[in-house]
């Protein structure tokens, strides 16, 4: 399938200054911006910056960022699922994963994550995709937010719903390893019933046969 990408940008006023929410942006643009030192949820900032550059180079890869002047202070990534995950096993060419979303502590509570997702879905091409995200509590900044896992999950679900993602049941062992973990998905308006059925089979692979 052809991966069309249409750039969108929005301004977001916050108490700490104006942010530009923009994307999908190219690897060259990602590389040209500074990367905030507090973006540490997944790996050290310099490594994560390189990871975003790599994702932007992928044909299906999408990077949407929140930028304060010339510095990236938040981002969301979309790409094919990791080959080691069950979500890649069905070889569904229009299934992509919201792989990571992160906002620096200073701008949390300013609806940055919500706006990253809203801008992500402005591109009509997203209606061709079945978009999933897997939420694991061990990636959540419980200490920095003073929230417990259930409060944090509620925040995550509300934010994801801004992008049209909904909770889906699954028997995936990693997600089932803790009740706060969850699978969420958004089925684009042009996604076929066949794709949805393939996704349903991926969601439940451990059913007992009677």
Residue 48 pLDDT exceeds 90: yes
pLDDT for res 201: 95
DSSP per-residue string spanning 124-140: GGGGG-EEEEEE-GGGS
**What's the mean per-residue pLDDT of the chain?**
94
Is residue 97, in this structure, part of any structural domain at all?
yes
- The domain containing residue 144 runs over which residues? 8-203
- Between the two ends of the chain, the Cα-to-Cα distance in Å is 38
Task: Tell me if 210 is assigned to some domain.
Answer: no
Q: Please list, in sequence order, all residues whose beta carbon lies within 8 angstroms of the beta carbon of residue 204, skipping any fewer than 6 positions away.
A: 169, 170, 171
Rounded percentage of the chain residues whose pLDDT exceeds 70: 98
Q: Does residue 209 lie in a domain region?
A: no
User: Among residues 140, 148, 133, which one has the least CA distance to residue 182?
Assistant: 133
117 domain residue, yes or no = yes
No. of helices (H) and no. of strands (E), the chain: 7, 9
Question: Would you say residue 208 lies in a domain?
Answer: no
What band does 208 get if pLDDT is binned at 50, 70 and 90?
low
Report cis status (omega within 30 of 0) of the bond before 24. yes
Residue 83 within any structural domain of the chain: yes
Q: What is the pLDDT of residues 148-196, one digit of tens each?
A: 999 999 999 999 999 999 999 999 999 999 999 999 999 999 999 999 9
Q: Domain holding 69: CATH number?
A: 3.40.630.30
- The count of domains in the chain is 1
Cα separations (Å) of 56 from 23, 27, 45, 51? 10, 5, 16, 9
Domain-located, residue 2: no
pTM of the model: 0.93
In a domain? residue 1? no
CA dist 176 to 131, 134, 150, 173, 207, Å?
Answer: 20, 11, 15, 5, 14
């Amino acid at each position: 399938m052809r991966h069309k990408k249409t750039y969108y940008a929005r301004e977001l006023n916050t108490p700490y200054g104006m942010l530009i929410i923009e994307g999908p942006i190219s690897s060259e643009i990602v590389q040209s911006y500074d990367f905030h030192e507090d973006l540490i949820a997944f790996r050290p900032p310099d490594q994560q910056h390189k990871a975003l550059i790599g994702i932007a180079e992928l044909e299906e890869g999408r990077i949407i960022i929140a930028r304060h002047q010339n510095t990236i202070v938040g981002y969301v990534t979309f790409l094919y699922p990791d080959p080691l995950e069950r979500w890649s096993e069905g070889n569904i060419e229009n299934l992509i994963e919201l792989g990571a979303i992160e906002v620096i502590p200073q701008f949390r509570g300013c609806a940055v994550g919500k706006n990253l997702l809203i801008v992500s879905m402005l591109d009509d091409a997203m209606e061709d995709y079945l978009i999933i995200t897997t939420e694991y509590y061990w990636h959540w900044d419980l200490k920095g937010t003073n929230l417990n896992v259930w409060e944090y999950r509620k925040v995550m679900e509300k934010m994801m719903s801004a992008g049209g993602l909904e909770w889906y049941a699954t028997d995936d062992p990693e997600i089932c390893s803790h009740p706060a973990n969850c699978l969420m998905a958004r089925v684009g308006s042009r996604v076929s019933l066949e794709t949805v059925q393939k996704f349903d089979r991926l969601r439940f692979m451990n059913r007992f046969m009677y």
